[in-house]
Amino acid sequence: MAKLYFSYAAMNAGKSTLLLQASHNYNERGMNTLLYTAALDNRAGIANIASRIGLKARAELFNEGDNLFEKIKEKLQQQSLSCVFVDEAQFLRPEQVWQLARVVDRLEIPVMCYGLRTDFQGKLFPGSSELLAIADILREIRTICHCGAKATMVVRLGDDGAVLVEGEQVAIGGNEKYVSLCRKHWEEETGNWPANRADSPTLNFEENQKRSGN
Ligand SMILES: [Zn+2]
């Protein structure tokens, strides 16, 4: 039976690499795949999914208004499809996640989505929220913080390297950079911990460790 998969991670965990490798495994066996990635700016057409280690493949763009069930059903009239892959799945609208679920349930094609779990403010993306709710299989792709612990959170850095705590969930065309951190270091970098840092400027990371008995 076909299934809806959601592989989620923080930034720079190699999501696109895994997607491209999985798609390649199908192609190698002579099976067709269909790849999607987010358009973000209402462009239409074709783009590349590229991974940091140099792999890339052609992908169709999805916009927030697209009905992915109808689009995939149309494709199916031209060619067979063994699997649909969606990169940047955090940008799916919740109704598009349901459209992909119908591709699984009604067209019996597996759909593998890859995306970020949370934004730089630690909030779920709408697409990720819906996928976490209804996907058949959830997979965590692991990456690590500078301290060696599992990184589950992301901070957004401005041009000057300072951590940004305000702003739109999706920054388009900016020079922002993202860094993955463990939850503990994310709270410190975003100023959420220590809670009274503003009142006691002498309280630093080491003192805080002693206080909490670590
Ligand atoms: Zn850490």
CA 136 – ligand 1 centroid, Å? 30
Q: So what's the pLDDT on residue 202?
A: 40
Q: So what's the pLDDT on residue 205?
A: 41
CA 152 – ligand 1 centroid, Å? 10
List CB-based neighbours of ion ligand 1 within 5 Å.
Answer: 145, 147, 149, 182, 185
Q: So what's the pLDDT on residue 195?
A: 78
CA 14 – ligand 1 centroid, Å? 19
CA 19 – ligand 1 centroid, Å? 26
CA 156 – ligand 1 centroid, Å? 16
Q: Which residues of the chain have pLDDT under 50?
A: 199-209, 212-214
Q: So what's the pLDDT on residue 49?
A: 92
What 3 state SS string does the chain have? CCCEEEEEECCCCCHHHHHHHHHHHHHHCCCCEEEEEECCCCCCCEEEEECCCCCEEEEEEECCCCCHHHHHHHHHHHCCCCEEEECCHHHCCHHHHHHHHHHHHHCCCCEEEEEECECCCCCECHHHHHHHHHCCEEEECCCECCCCCECCEEEEECCCCCEECCCCCCCCCCCCEEEEECHHHHHHHCCCCCCCCCCCCCCCHHHHHHHCCC
Q: So what's the pLDDT on residue 172?
A: 67
Q: What is the pTM of this model?
A: 0.88
Predicted confidence (pLDDT) per residue in 1-44, tens digit = 999 999 999 988 899 999 999 999 999 999 999 999 999 866 66
Predicted confidence (pLDDT) per residue in 167-181, tens digit = 998 876 666 789 999
Question: Going from the N-terminus, what domains does the chain have, and what CATH number goes with each?
Answer: 1-142 (3.40.50.300), 144-214 (3.30.60)
Q: So what's the pLDDT on residue 117?
A: 96
Catalytic annotation, residues: 88
Q: So what's the pLDDT on residue 196?
A: 61
CA 93 – ligand 1 centroid, Å? 31
